[in-house]
């Protein structure tokens, strides 16, 4: 099949949005099938920044149809803001944006529940967008699917049942009850605005794939945030692996023929949780500042924690995702360094026999590389890269036993090289 999954190999924020934007030029459709508006993509086109949270960034290409799959959770207020923002820019969504009725509805009480949890003794460092509680309700069979939501009589009945259960739950946590009537009325209004986009498209895509149409599965977050195999409990609430993207789109795993894993030339994560290669204060002082490196969360605006590349964790991600090639981003952030480090193993040779729950206790074994001390921002072809950039990239390929397909060295579309 003519399909590719684009997945993050670290803790999210790897630059997937730019890669999706680039590859979607060749696609007929792009599918986002897990997570919610906790994800954030920033695309720069002709000097203008576009920020996406749920709508696939391929919506900027007029020929591409965009799909939000049944594995996602949807906040209608946030989605409406995205839609209105795109329409103000003259971007048409008519017959181009389709949302699965199997996706679940995020309601204000989900956000309230997450806020309470995050203010407790053991915060995860979530975006407080209600993503986790919505997935909890989905699994507990007390959630509301979008197909139920846009059928107003059904929504009224389901909301009455679900909100009463949620009220009792929140009251047991010491939270005063919320205004069910006001929420129902507001969300019934949202349903009338958004119902034109909600349609069961799963079989349509299946038939299109059989005809040879090209589709891209757009991953959100990253492998180390996977709900099952990430750095638990400091993870997201959905399956971020390539297999989860197919299932979340209502398709079988054979629907994905190629998987492109996206990684930064260093590591970052937002929120709490283990980070073996995190910079010391001295290393942070000599690295690029958060502003220079553009390391603020698109969704929360929080500073990202930063550190060296971690080969053992990347190998885990490549296995989990079935990665066939790599895209390495933000090489330009390393331009000023005289030397840099890459974690090639953990002390005691613990890779590959380690459990993610032990990641907080491992000690990295580093290999040092010479920097190149030259700007890469005007590079047009591989041969123009400084010698030490090429050595660095070659070593990454060798250490990961996976070919690099794309190299990115700036936020703009044109600052990308395709190597294969």
Catalytic annotation, residues: 13, 41
Beta carbons of 387 and 372 less than 8 angstroms apart: yes
Tokens 């630059």 found at: 15
Residue 4 DSSP code? E
- Rounded (5°) CA angle 20-375-372: 105
Tokens 């059989």 found at: 210
Residue among 46, 8, 52, 185 at smallest CA distance from 107: 185
E strand map for 162-310: 215-218, 259-264, 267-269, 305-307, 309-310
- Characterize the bridge pairing of strands 416-418 and 404-408: antiparallel
Tokens 């000097």 found at: 47
Strand (E) or helix (H) holding 284: helix 281-286
Residue 215 DSSP code? E
Tokens 């919505």 found at: 134
**Phi and psi based region of residue 109 (left: phi greater than 0; alpha: psi -120 to 50; beta: remaining):** alpha
Beta carbons of 309 and 266 less than 8 angstroms apart: yes
CA Rg value for the chain = 22
């Amino acid at each position: 099949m003519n399909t590719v999954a684009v997945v993050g190999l670290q803790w999210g924020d790897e630059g997937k949005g730019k890669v999706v934007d680039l590859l979607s030029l060749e696609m007929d459709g792009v599918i986002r099938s897990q997570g919610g508006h906790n994800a954030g993509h920033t695309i720069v086109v002709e000097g203008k920044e576009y920020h996406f949270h749920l709508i696939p960034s391929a919506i900027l290409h007029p020929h591409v149809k965009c799909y939000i799959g049944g594995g996602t959770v949807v906040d209608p207020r946030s989605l409406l803001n995205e839609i209105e923002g795109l329409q103000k820019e003259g971007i048409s969504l008519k017959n181009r944006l389709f949302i699965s009725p199997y996706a679940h509805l995020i309601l204000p009480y989900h956000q309230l529940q997450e806020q309470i949890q995050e203010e407790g003794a053991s915060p995860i460092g979530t975006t407080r967008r209600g993503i986790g509680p919505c997935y909890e309700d989905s699994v507990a069979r007390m959630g509301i699917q979008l197909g139920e939501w846009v059928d107003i009589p059904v929504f009224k009945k389901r909301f009455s049942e679900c909100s009463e259960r949620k009220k009792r739950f929140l009251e047991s946590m010491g939270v005063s009850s919320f205004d069910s009537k006001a929420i129902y009325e507001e969300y019934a209004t949202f349903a009338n605005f958004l119902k034109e986009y909600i349609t069961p498209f799963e079989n349509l895509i299946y038939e299109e794939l059989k005809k040879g149409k090209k589709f891209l599965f757009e991953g959100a977050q990253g492998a180390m945030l996977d709900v099952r195999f990430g750095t638990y409990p400091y993870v997201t609430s959905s399956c971020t692996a390539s297999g989860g993207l197919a299932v979340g789109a209502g398709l079988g795993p054979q629907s994905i023929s190629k998987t492109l894993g996206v990684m930064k030339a260093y590591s970052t994560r937002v929120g709490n949780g283990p980070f073996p290669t995190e910079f010391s204060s001295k290393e942070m002082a000599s690295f690029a500042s958060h502003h220079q490196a553009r390391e603020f969360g698109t969704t929360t605006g929080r500073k990202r924690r930063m550190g060296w590349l971690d080969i053992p964790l990347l190998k885990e991600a490549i296995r989990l995702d079935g990665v066939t090639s790599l895209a390495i981003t933000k090489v330009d952030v390393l331009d000023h360094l005289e030397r840099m480090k890459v974690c090639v193993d953990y002390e005691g040779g613990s890779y590959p026999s380690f459990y993610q729950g032990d990641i907080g206790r491992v000690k990295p074994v580093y290999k040092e590389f010479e920097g190149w001390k030259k700007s890469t921002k005007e590079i047009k072809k591989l041969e123009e890269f400084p010698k030490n950039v090429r050595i660095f990239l070659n070593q990454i390929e060798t250490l990961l036993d996976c070919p690099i397909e794309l190299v990115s060295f700036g936020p703009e579309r044109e600052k990308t090289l395709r190597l294969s």
